[in-house]
Copies of this chain bind each other. A is one copy, B any other.
């Protein structure tokens, strides 16, 4: 049996990530008692049916009482309201973390609303699928994926110990753990996650709105590449609206770079500059190899989605 890291854990918001944390915690055996709070009665009913929590409640204040670890797993712009609801009921010495995809704004919201008696350690597991809700989660979601912690600028020993304890927790859940400054996190994620989602949402929207090409044609002939983009463009709309609003500056900066590069590429096509195209298309191949070598991607062709076919 694994060592218990936090006797009592409260998870606020039980969607894809919240429910995956719970399943991974149960697999790891690092928590004794699991309490879930969710604002949706449908989600609460489903969590009760799934049977992976010891207690299910609609009250954030009730859920966090006596908890050693509180995991906020709600959309980024809902974090502040949840922090306010939790503030008066938190146990002194508890660790409060979150799983939000934007860290600067969330970190400020937590620091502004939570008491000094708790350890605030913002975090972000870089893992997910395009699906949502408590049924979508699974225990292996975080295996070999990176969780980034963005600790506050505190150097006191109790705080550093709380950060280390949370890092150990994520390691027990199967993740690799990194620490970085929250501003840098938000820039890195604007590149590796937010811009890709923005581009995917945009191209799927463009294709859906064309008059010259029917939607049925777009869907039928999507195996030429388009279908890949539909996956992340099927991600949760609330979650992603919040991310773009909360990480506006970094997203717009990276989007500016992307647009500049796209204009150069467009010009190369217009003027028939084949060498420029060939040079870019050769370089990008190496990045794929690096992603696979970093253990973050299947080496199989077509993501292995054709595995049953050959």
A85 interface hit (Cβ, 8 Å): no
Q: Closest B-chain residue to A224, C-beta based?
A: B193
* Docked pose: A217 CA to B283 CA in angstroms: 17
Q: Check A303/B301 contact, CB under 8 A, given A101-B224, A146-B220, A237-B281.
A: no
In the assembled complex, how far is the CB of residue A147 from the closest CB belonging to chain B, in whole angstroms?
Answer: 10
| Contact present for B291 and A227 (CB under 8 Å) | yes
Q: Closest B-chain residue to A204, C-beta based?
A: B284
| Contact present for B146 and A301 (CB under 8 Å) | no
A:263-310 near B, CB below 8 Å: 265-266, 269-270, 272, 274, 277-278, 280-285, 287-291, 293-294, 296-298, 300-307, 309-310
| Contact present for B237 and A285 (CB under 8 Å) | yes
Q: Is the interface of A mostly helix, strand, loop or mixed?
A: helix
Neighbouring B residues of A293 by C-beta, 8 Å: 219
| Contact present for B294 and A220 (CB under 8 Å) | yes
Neighbouring B residues of A128 by C-beta, 8 Å: 223-224
A87 interface hit (Cβ, 8 Å): no
A234 interface hit (Cβ, 8 Å): yes
A33 interface hit (Cβ, 8 Å): no
A188 interface hit (Cβ, 8 Å): yes
Q: Check A227/B281 contact, CB under 8 A, given A206-B257, A303-B304.
A: no
A191 interface hit (Cβ, 8 Å): yes
A222 interface hit (Cβ, 8 Å): yes
- A residues in contact (CB < 8 Å) with B: 101, 126-131, 136, 138-141, 143, 145-146, 148, 178, 187-189, 191-210, 212-213, 215-235, 237-238, 240-242, 244-245, 248, 251-252, 254-255, 257-259, 261-262, 265-266, 269-270, 272, 274, 277-278, 280-285, 287-291, 293-294, 296-298, 300-307, 309-310
